[in-house]
Chain A
Amino acid sequence: MYAWIWRHLPGERLRTKLLAALALAAAAVLLLWYVVFPWLDAKLAFDHGVVDGPAPSAPASPSR
């Protein structure tokens, strides 16, 4: 996978290839951090401080 990406990176010299790889990695991290993780985190609840039993709470609606 990574070998394939490396071969398809633009540029002839090592410097430009490295820069392109870095940019690609940064783009992936930003996409995860600002788009994927907020979405994913809303679906999970590791930190849950509410006591709940038979309370008449509506099923979690994302509101708005």
Chain B
Amino acid sequence: MRTLIRGLGELFITGGLVLLLFVVYSLWGTDRYTREQQDRLGEQLAKAWQAPPVTTEKVKLGSGLAMIRIPRLGSKYRYVIVEGVQPSDLRKGPGHYPGTAMPGEVGNFVVSGHRTTYSAPFNRIGELRRGDRILIDTRRRQFVYQVTGRQIVEPDDVEVIAPVPNHPRRRPTERLITLTTCHPKYSAAQRLIVYGRLVETRARVTAPTSPQAGG
């Protein structure tokens, strides 16, 4: 009887330690996976952009689509946006909702990302203020969006990703961007939504990664 109780106690303590280790893994260990995937996708994207464009430029689920940069969150802030919002897509980086507008198109370009874990690309988007710029690089163009507002909604409020946010029936006339992530941090109880509007389209500067002998 004594040994049984002692064995059980040891088992529970071990289980607790394993759970603690899992929390540590979730918060910090998962970053490594996203960084690897981002490096890979970034290289793929740079290569694809150098190759001549294909006539039917359809992005495959899980592959890179554009680069996002947000100057407010630091000059190093850049992520490859992947196509798709399945959990396996979002582990690689911010994901574009399939079926919503592409960057620069009339309608709503919607991107979702992790707020915590997996490099937490959207960890600090709550700090964005009206007028902050969100830069989206595509093959030829850079789209400059400006933050217009934000909102905290319930997880099933799909109207926020409508072509005209919160007006699902209205026909879009503007070129918008919407970022979604979870809220509050470390929870999935609500969603934090950041809205923006296209203010400028310019030629993409093909500087940062191109000319060296890359591999």
A and B found bound together? yes
Instruction: Check B112 against A47 for contact (C-beta < 8 Å).
Output: no
Question: Can you report 23 residue pairs joining A to B where beta carbons are below 8 Å apart?
Answer: A1-B10, A29-B21, A32-B21, A37-B22, A37-B26, A38-B33, A40-B22, A41-B26, A46-B26, A46-B117, A46-B186, A47-B114, A47-B182, A49-B122, A49-B180, A50-B85, A50-B97, A51-B160, A54-B158, A62-B88, A63-B61, A63-B62, A64-B62
Question: Interface code A8-22, partner B: CB below 8 Å = 1, 0 otherwise?
Answer: 000000000000000
Question: Interface code A37-64, partner B: CB below 8 Å = 1, 0 otherwise?
Answer: 1101110011111111111011011111
Instruction: Check A42 against B25 for contact (C-beta < 8 Å).
Output: no
The docked-state distance in angstroms from the alpha carbon of A31 to that of B4 is 27
Instruction: Check B158 against A52 for contact (C-beta < 8 Å).
Output: yes
- Category for how many chain B residues contact A: 35 or more
The docked-state distance in angstroms from the alpha carbon of A1 to that of B15 is 13
A-B CB contacts (within 8 Å), total count: 92
- Category for how many chain A residues contact B: 20 to 34
Instruction: Check A51 against B156 for contact (C-beta < 8 Å).
Output: yes
The docked-state distance in angstroms from the alpha carbon of A51 to that of B181 is 9
Say what secondary structure dominates the interface of chain B. mixed
Instruction: Check A49 against B30 for contact (C-beta < 8 Å).
Output: no
Say what secondary structure dominates the interface of chain A. loop
Q: Which of B15-34 contact A (CB under 8 A)?
A: 18, 21-22, 25-26, 29-30, 33
A52 nearest CB across to chain B (Å): 7
B153 nearest CB across to chain A (Å): 7
Instruction: Check A51 against B153 for contact (C-beta < 8 Å).
Output: yes
Instruction: Check A49 against B90 for contact (C-beta < 8 Å).
Output: yes
The docked-state distance in angstroms from the alpha carbon of A40 to that of B157 is 28
B149 nearest CB across to chain A (Å): 16
Chain A residues in 8 Å Cβ range of B114: 47, 49
